């Protein structure tokens, strides 16, 4: 019997590597496609002994060809942290435009289901709270975050066009803040930054006054939601995230407590266009997928902190870790 085959772009990244694990466990053949701009071989090295896993070094912004049967294409390639997309603005726009086009062309060629990893950033700095999929957002297209926000919004439009004009079986996910093992310690996102700083005894840097909120979801819960979307007939957009909303100051204090750190909390300037609030309305996911996050946030934080403690070489080597992770 031939098990279904899934191509995952960005498969060697934080989220992509967890998807590769899950789909291998479910019996799928995996094409993990990555150019290692922000991904790392180390994230999927433990999967390479499985003959159903193939790692393909390729830039999805260029033409993408796979020789075998592909039943699904999961397009998860993109710089995803502010540090990355501010450092790589053109690459971010290219993977959202050319990369999405090439991944959709692959799905069209193979007759495969296509799943786009979009983002809660499509809502920008929202004026509606919590954010339902019907909300069009409040995005500054020429602000520093616009390269990521608009790349994803364009990718959603491209995906919708392929569905309507070409009959490709597509789905759009709007993913809210996700955390877990294999996050890059220097990628600029709050949780890995706070954990690294706490473990090193450095000041834990909170932007602004720390009252801005995010809703954080442990990666295993998110992967379950993605798996259900792929195996559904939903086209989306559909929000996937944990409605557990927390301020950045409270999150920093929580991580300080869980790590037993003596770090002080330090306040730094807040980035331009940084959203004030963020929480998903997951009514659609509950009703159509039977999906809600199950893993308590504290358990997820403990798992993530433990992973950092088990891999000190990634966050104690200074500039070496910044360039190699």
> Structure tokens of 81?
């942290």
Q: What is the mean pLDDT of the chain?
A: 94
pLDDT digits (tens, 9 = 90+) for 222-232: 999 999 999 99
> Which domain CATH number covers 114?
3.40.50.720
Task: Classify residue 53: in a domain, yes or no.
Answer: yes
Same domain, 202 and 141: no
* pLDDT confidence tier of residue 313, bands split at 50, 70 and 90: confident
- Read off the CATH number of the domain in which 253 is found: 3.90.25.10
Percent of the chain with pLDDT over 90: 88
> What pTM did the predictor assign?
0.94
* Residue 34: both structure tokens together: 């990555």
How far apart, in whole angstroms, are the C-alpha atoms of residue 287 and residue 283?
A: 6
- Interval 94-142: pLDDT, tens: 999 999 999 999 999 999 999 999 999 999 999 999 999 999 999 999 9
User: Into how many domains does the chain fold?
Assistant: 2
Residue 67, pLDDT > 90, answer no
Alpha-carbon distance 231 to 240, whole Å? 15
303 within domain boundaries: yes
Q: Are 198 and 152 within one domain?
A: no
Q: How far apart are alpha carbons 262 and 255 in whole angstroms? A: 11
Q: Is residue 185 part of a domain?
A: no
Question: What is each CA distance from 301 to 108, 119, 188, 256, 308, in whole angstroms?
Answer: 39, 22, 17, 11, 11
Comparison of pLDDT for 272 and 158, the residue scoring more: 158
Residues belonging to the active site: 148
């Amino acid at each position: 019997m031939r098990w279904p085959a899934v191509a995952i772009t960005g498969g060697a990244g934080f989220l992509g590597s967890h998807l590769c694990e899950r789909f291998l466990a479910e019996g799928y053949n995996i094409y993990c496609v990555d150019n290692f701009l922000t991904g790392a071989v180390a994230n999927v090295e433990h999967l390479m002994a499985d003959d159903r896993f193939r790692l393909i070094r390729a830039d999805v912004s260029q033409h993408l060809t796979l020789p075998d049967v592909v039943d699904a294409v999961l397009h998860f390639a993109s710089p995803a942290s502010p540090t990355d997309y501010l450092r790589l603005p053109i690459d971010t726009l290219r993977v959202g435009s050319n990369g999405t086009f090439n991944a959709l062309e692959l799905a069209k060629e193979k007759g495969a289901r296509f799943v786009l990893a979009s983002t809660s950033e499509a809502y920008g700095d929202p004026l509606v709270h919590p954010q339902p999929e019907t909300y069009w957002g409040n995005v500054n297209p020429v602000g520093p975050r616009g390269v990521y926000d608009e790349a994803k919004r364009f990718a959603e439009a491209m995906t919708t066009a392929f569905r309507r004009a070409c009959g490709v079986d597509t789905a759009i996910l709007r993913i809210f803040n996700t955390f877990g093992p294999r996050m890059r310690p220097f990628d600029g996102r709050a949780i890995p930054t706070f954990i690294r700083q706490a473990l090193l005894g450095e000041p834990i840097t909170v932007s602004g006054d720390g009252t801005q909120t995010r809703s954080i979801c442990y990666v295993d819960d998110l992967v379950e939601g993605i798996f259900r979307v792929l195996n559904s007939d939903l086209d989306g957009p559909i929000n996937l995230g944990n409605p557990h909303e927390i301020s950045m100051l409270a999150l920093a204090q929580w991580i300080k407590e869980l790590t037993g750190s003596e770090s002080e909390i330090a306040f730094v300037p807040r980035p331009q266009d940084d959203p004030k609030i963020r929480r998903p309305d997951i009514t659609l996911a509950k009703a159509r997928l039977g999906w809600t996050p199950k893993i308590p946030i504290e358990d997820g934080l403990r798992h993530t902190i433990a992973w950092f403690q088990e891999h000190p070489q990634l966050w104690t080597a200074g500039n070496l870790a910044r360039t190699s992770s």
